[in-house]
Amino acid sequence: MVPYQKPSVYAAFLVVLVLLLAACTSEAEPTPQNDVTEAPSESTVIGEESVNANAVVVEDQMLSSDNTVTVSSVTADKNSWLVIHAQADGKPGPILGVSPVNAGINNDVVVEIDSAGATEVLYAMLHMDAGIEGEYEFPGDDVPATDAEGNIVTPPFTITGGQSTAEILFLAESAELGSYLTDAAGMSLYTFAFDVPGASNCYDRCAQAWPPLLTDVAIEFQAGDGIPGELDTTERDDGTIQVAYEGRPLYYWSNDEVPGDTTGHNFNNVWAVAYPATHVFLGGNEELGSFLVGPKSMTLYRFNADQPDVSNCYEGCAANWPPFTVAEGELPRGNAGVVGHLATTERDDGTLQVTYQGMPLYHWINDAVPGDATGHKVNDVWFVVPPLTVGLGESEELGSFLVGANRMTLYVFTVDEENLSNCYDQCASNWPPLLVQQGEVPVSGAGVTGEFSLTTRDDGAIQVTYNGQPLYFWANDENPGDTTGHGVNDVWFVAAP
């Protein structure tokens, strides 16, 4: 027998090598894989994670009847907000509406917008929901989202075919004022006596206290039910578009806090709530100052031959001086600055003529354009009608005091007797009396509660008295609010209400 021999180390090494070579040349079994056929693209969202896929696709469209716009597609890295902006200065401006969108792809996203602020071009901007989840916070954490190149996602689109008509004027009611105009939120709207039809004269500090009611030129709007007048717009000096009613620009009052507040009515006798049907306005010209005008801004007159609430102008007279009338059932209303009492009187033909402080009102056929007052002093019996005789002024030092229609301070003379002036010649040159025309009735502004009367001066002029004291101006006062005559010689003092 051949004796047993122990395998050498070399032989063992060969066996191991052969086994390794066999393993390397055999085909491996496939390893189980996730069901993904290709790598995620930039527009693919997995769960709530993304690879910077933010995108918005939107097409030009009509604004729907329910004031909504539809955005074709919104792709978002995470839960976000789709925000619709109006255009301002060629870029995204005021926010009109917001809608939440989920992480991933969102199709046909509908956003309700404030159509009153819509412009022809709108922007669909994506904001990430980065603060309190589910709460839109901008300004705040929910800043605009960016795409893969770092651009803000905000494509523009056009509202084609015109916007839906938006109602921007509504009616409110109060026991004191009756019906007046408000905005959609119920905030009171006002008119300014110193405006002219189609143009605002309220800027700078005035516009801060009385913000204009603005709109966009692209918006079609209308008044609500029961408002018969015409809506229009006027362009302000800064290019913004202000809403006007019957040609009169409309404003808010900064001190009104909640719907129903009308604290600006009769402010300084030149502001009033905007009425839905106004008949008498404040007009004027450089020669005569302020006087009453009708709805088309044509001058109104009174006739000295009339009696209170009775017209004596008929036939040929009425042909030259057409009575200012309203339809049966209409209550005459005055715009800002018209502080006297408006009513009607029935004429012989049954028509209703408007009266102011009992004076029947007329137009003059020879007036051609607003501002004309060619009928003033015709035959010394026809006169324009001033809006008020006496109003209120105020200073920190003296408090409230009386002023004339020109807003200049009025004074009393302690040397006078009751309803009798003792100021003539040089005295009257320095202290011009407050005069009215024959047949004119003194009209007091808001807050003036004393008794007015008249006294005939030595030259036949008619001077106004207040609580028995004749009233005067002071020649050295230069501007409204001046009270330099107060205390002169210890006999002249501002007239206290």
Tens-place pLDDT, residues 216-257:
654 566 666 678 777 888 999 999 999 998 888 999 999 999
Q: What percent of the chain has pLDDT over 70?
A: 86
Q: Is the pLDDT of residue 94 over 60?
A: yes
Residue that wins the pLDDT comparison between 184 and 17: 184
Q: Is the pLDDT of residue 494 over 80?
A: yes
- Cα separation, 214 vs 209, in Å, equals 15
Contact (CB, 8 A) for 258 and 202: no
Q: Residues 271, 272, 276, 278: is their CA dihedral positive or negative?
A: negative
pLDDT, averaged across the chain: 84
Q: Is the pLDDT of residue 33 over 70?
A: no
Chain center to CA of 222: 15
Q: Is the pLDDT of residue 165 over 80?
A: no
Q: Is the pLDDT of residue 25 over 90?
A: no
In angstroms, the first-to-last Cα distance of the chain is: 151
Q: Running DSSP on this structure, what letter comes out for residue 199?
A: B
Q: What pTM was estimated for this model as a whole?
A: 0.53
Q: Is the pLDDT of residue 29 over 80?
A: no
Range 130-145 average pLDDT: 91
Confidence (pLDDT) at 217 = 58
| Helices and strands of the chain, counted as H and E runs | 4, 32
- Tens-digit pLDDT profile for residues 400-427: 999 987 779 999 999 999 999 999 999 9
Question: Coil, helix or strand for 403?
Answer: strand
- Tens-digit pLDDT profile for residues 81-92: 999 998 888 899
Q: Tell me, which fold does domain 55-158 have in CATH?
A: Immunoglobulin-like (2.60.40)
The backbone region for 178, taken as left when phi is positive above 0, alpha when psi lies in -120 to 50, beta otherwise, is left
For the chain, the maximum distance between any two Cα atoms, rounded to a whole number of angstroms, is 174
Q: Cβ neighbours of residue 480 under 8 Å, at least 6 residues apart?
A: 393, 403, 406, 407, 408, 409
* Residue 285, both tokens: 């010209």
Confidence (pLDDT) at 229 = 74
Q: Is the pLDDT of residue 446 over 50?
A: yes
Confidence (pLDDT) at 493 = 98
Q: Is the pLDDT of residue 212 over 90?
A: yes
Q: Is the pLDDT of residue 37 over 60?
A: no
**How does residue 45 score in pLDDT terms, banded at 50, 70 and 90?**
very low
Residue 331: which of 385, 277, 283 has the closest Cα?
Answer: 277
Q: Is the pLDDT of residue 276 over 90?
A: no
Q: Which sequence spans correspond to the domains of the chain?
A: 55-158, 167-273, 294-373, 390-494
**Helices of type H across 97-248:** 205-209
Contact (CB, 8 A) for 75 and 54: yes
Q: Is the pLDDT of residue 466 over 80?
A: yes
Confidence (pLDDT) at 22 = 45
- Cα separation, 209 vs 193, in Å, equals 15
Q: Is the pLDDT of residue 20 over 70?
A: no
Range 51-64 average pLDDT: 84
Based on the number of CB atoms within 10 Å of its own CB, is 290 exposed (0-12), middle (13-18) or buried (19 or more)?
buried
Residue type, 63: L
Residue 339: which of 274, 265, 286 has the closest Cα?
Answer: 265
According to DSSP, the β-strands at 248-249 and 241-245 are antiparallel
Confidence (pLDDT) at 3 = 40
- Tens-digit pLDDT profile for residues 296-315: 889 999 998 998 899 999 99
Confidence (pLDDT) at 422 = 97
Weakest-pLDDT range from 191-195, 254-258, 282-286, 492-496: 282-286
Chain center to CA of 324: 30
- Cα separation, 347 vs 345, in Å, equals 6
Confidence (pLDDT) at 36 = 33
- Tens-digit pLDDT profile for residues 243-253: 998 888 999 99
**How does residue 38 score in pLDDT terms, banded at 50, 70 and 90?**
very low
